[in-house]
Amino acid sequence: MAVTLTKDSEVAPEDTAAAPTPARFRPAVIAVAALVALLLAATVFAFVSWRQEAGLASARADALESAKRYALDLTSYDYRTMDRNFADVAQNASPGFAAQYKQVSDQLSGIIGKYQGVSVGTVLDAGVAGGDTSRVDVVLFIDQRITNTQTKDPRTDRSRMKMSLIDQDGTWKIDSLSLV
């Protein structure tokens, strides 16, 4: 027990446990500050991860809807409006795919016109096969009801395709197409 002298020279016992020194609090303060910093960093990381995931989900959904529309453009045509049908596809294509599509459509337009071909495409189902915010691969299941002067009855062609789309200035464009 410590003894303290007072003004009147009385001896009074001093309570040593009453006021802890600042050095005793230092490890606790550091631990609390570290815990707060760790929680703040985890919150920021979770928020950034959530935003990236939301951006990816949004990109995939937008690309999927675009692919469905473009698939209808690709599989629906009328010999009376072929130029407009082909222009719709080219407008929604990357420069590389547009050049390839022009070569194919130039060859097909003569045949479609000669036999008065009409095709109506229907997207039965579609799903995202993979991708990121700048490129998305979509698999599409499509039926085409085709009529022409060469066949008595309409026929149905079932097409399964993989369409790769790229984001060009905020718009999804067809970059490649393959039958699967």
**pLDDT value at residue 145:** 97
Number of domains in the chain: 1
CATH number of the domain to which 143 belongs = 3.10.450.230
Is 7 a domain residue?
Answer: no
Q: Spell out the alpha helix ranges (H) of the chain.
A: 22-75, 82-91, 95-114
Q: Which pLDDT score, from 0 to 100, does residue 73 have?
A: 96
170 lies in a domain?
yes
92 assigned to some structural domain? yes
Spatial CA neighbour of 154 closest among 123, 116, 110: 116
Residue 104 lies inside a defined structural domain of this protein: yes
pLDDT value for 179: 93
Q: How many C-beta atoms surround the C-beta of residue 144 within 10 A?
A: 18
pLDDT at 80: 96
Mean pLDDT (the chain) is 87
**Beta-sheet pairing, 118-131 with 155-168:** unpaired
- For residue 97, pLDDT over 90 is answered with yes
Q: How far apart are CA 153 and CA 146, in angstroms?
A: 9
Q: What is the pTM of this model?
A: 0.72
Instruction: Output the CA–CA distances (angstroms, integers) from residue 69 to 107, 117, 123, 172, in the order listed.
Output: 23, 21, 9, 11
Per-residue pLDDT, averaged over 83-100, amounts to 95
pLDDT of residue 116: 96
- Identify the domain containing residue 58 by its residue range: 32-179
Is 5 or 173 the better-scoring residue by pLDDT? Answer: 173
Taking each helix axis from N to C end, the angle separating 95-114 and 82-91, rounded to the nearest 10 degrees, works out to: 170
Q: Is residue 13 part of a domain?
A: no
Q: What is the CA radius of gyration of the chain?
A: 35
Q: What is the pLDDT of residue 68?
A: 98
